[in-house]
Amino acid sequence: VEQLYLTGLHLEQYRHPTYNPCDYYFEALRRDPEDSRCNNALGLWYLRRGQFSMAESYFRKAISTLTERNPNPIEGEPFYNLGLTLCFLKRDDEAYDAFYKSVWNAAFHDSGYFELARLASKKQNWEEALELIDRSLIKNWHNHKARQLKVSLLRKLDRSDEAGKLIEDSLALDKFNIGILFEQYLLTPDRVLNPVRDSELAALLRGNIHTYIEYSLDFASSGFFEEAIELINMGITEQKKNPVYPLAYYYKGWFQSQKNDLSGAQKSLEQASSASPDYCFPNQTEAVSVLEWAINQNPSDSKAPWYLGNFWYHARQYKNAIENWELSANLDDRFPTVHRNLALAYFNKLNEPEKALAELEKAFVLDQTDSRVFMELDQLYKRLNFPPDQRLQKLEKYLSLVEERDDLYLERVALYNSLGEFEKSYDLLMARKFHPWEGGEGKATGQYVYSLIEQAKKAISLKNFDFAVEFLTRAQHYPENLGEGKLYGAQENELFYWLGCAFEGSGLGNKALECWEIASRGLKEPAPAIFYN
């Protein structure tokens, strides 16, 4: 069980692309359902993916095991993690008890007291919160978030001199502590009339709306919603030249709702719904709570379930993702990307190829300028065994899209090869400069060699042996425009076999034997070609 736990932990830490850490945790719990380590690990896995109720059940199982014989266990992490989960579930009083239990262990003095201070601050118990944050800082004097929270509490208690001194000390440790710099701005007496420090702060943040969101969430987590709104407004203002990131409006609306500014929240939700969805992908766990709130507040908004579906799919919560994307598509049937995502989910996760095909074809009909969707549609045709001539006809119809992508262009080349038009394939290959991409190793060069070998075979059948030798000699050297060189030790058995045949036809028996000798060498067992070291 311990080895299963450690293996799962290792896979999480190194993000292995094909092994799933949960498989190891689940196997450990099959053998020992009470194991606290694996219950805690699975709770964390679900917490990070926004499945708060699932996370709570695993943390409570871990705590049950740890406290079976001792009410104050040696490990406080499950209590701390339970506290975080309960905060997301809006059960702050229970979270307060869980965090207090976690600080029984010295390892959680820093983080546990910090979260307790946040909860006290949310209730505007400033003095209690100040005492708790001091306990956190005793354990970790360089906790920059804790320093910002202490400054905020001192400001609320009208102890500006102490706040100013702490700001000075904190900036000596970290000149880029944005939370502290924002507090310094808030403490500027004439900040409304003289917003110089605002511009200095904006220069440090470089217009990155994601940074504004992160720091505004720090303030909101302690109940400072007015400050969170002001900070995120600064970020929204900085986006004047570009489309505003939609989640900024969703977060702003949620902050406003916490202050009972319902009309302001509704306006922000409308702005979020109409904002451009390009390049918007929620990544904070807080986004789950905020987007679920937005869906309930504005049921006509098709984008909120779309964004939430993206989060769920990334978190491997595929059922939730598909449900949200289907809701989004029902609310707005004209958004192509939601159909594209549904196609991927139907094919890869539900094994429903017909539904996938219908969705992907609809996505392309809605936006016939999207070369990526066109590439994915052709790949789906390929997986579903559409005839090569039918696929080629589609590619020829949208040549401008094919020209945009090396992978699509190569599919066109490969189809001509498949249909026996080897000269056409070769000419297309030589007319383009290819660029290496991960997963594309050997594809351009493979089609190049194949087209030349097939032309050589055709020449041999017509007894044009000199042409065949020329084709096969050319196939041994990759031209620069293919963007890929030939690795040492490349297996070319077929090429040398046919070269031997060409020499034999020309009456050069010795050269033919040399080529066939080379063709007879190679790997002792069949193996896939490797195009990279």
Question: Model confidence over 97-116: pLDDT tens digits?
Answer: 999 999 999 999 999 999 99
The average pLDDT across 509-525 equals 91
Answer yes or no: is pLDDT of 229 > 60: yes
Q: Flag the least confident range among 27-31, 124-128, 192-196, 496-500.
A: 192-196
Answer yes or no: is pLDDT of 263 > 60: yes
Q: Flag the least confident range among 298-312, 493-507, 519-533.
A: 519-533
Q: What is the pLDDT of residue 319?
A: 97
The average pLDDT across 278-284 equals 93
Q: How far apart are CA 502 and CA 524, in angstroms?
A: 26
Q: Flag the least confident range among 127-131, 203-207, 445-449, 455-459.
A: 203-207
Answer yes or no: is pLDDT of 533 > 70: no
Q: How far apart are CA 310 and CA 280, in angstroms?
A: 9
Answer yes or no: is pLDDT of 141 > 70: yes
On average, the pLDDT of the chain sits at 94
Answer yes or no: is pLDDT of 196 > 60: no
Contact (CB, 8 A) for 180 and 148: yes
Q: What is the pLDDT of residue 438?
A: 86
Q: Flag the least confident range among 70-74, 117-121, 293-297, 396-400.
A: 70-74
Other C-beta atoms closer than 10 Å to the C-beta of 322 total 19
Which pTM value belongs to this model? 0.90
Q: What is the pLDDT of residue 532?
A: 59
Rounded to 5°, angle at Cα 303 from 301 and 304: 80
The average pLDDT across 259-286 equals 95
Q: Which whole-number Å values give the CA distances from 127 to 134, 137, 225, in the listed order?
A: 11, 15, 19
Burial class (CB in 10 A: 0-12, 13-18, 19+), 319: exposed
Answer yes or no: is pLDDT of 198 > 70: no
The average pLDDT across 352-369 equals 98
Identity at 130, one-letter amino acid code: L
Answer yes or no: is pLDDT of 530 > 70: no
Q: What is the pLDDT of residue 292?
A: 97
Percent helix, strand, coil in the chain (nearest 5)?
70, 0, 30
Q: Flag the least confident range among 115-119, 199-203, 406-410.
A: 199-203
The average pLDDT across 369-389 equals 98
User: For the range 317-320, what are the long-range contacts, defined as Cβ-Cβ under 8 Å and sequence gap of 24 or more?
Assistant: 317/49, 317/50, 317/51, 318/345, 318/349
Answer yes or no: is pLDDT of 284 > 70: yes
Residue with tokens 């511009």: 199
Answer yes or no: is pLDDT of 74 > 90: no
Q: What is the pLDDT of residue 169?
A: 97
The average pLDDT across 140-149 equals 97
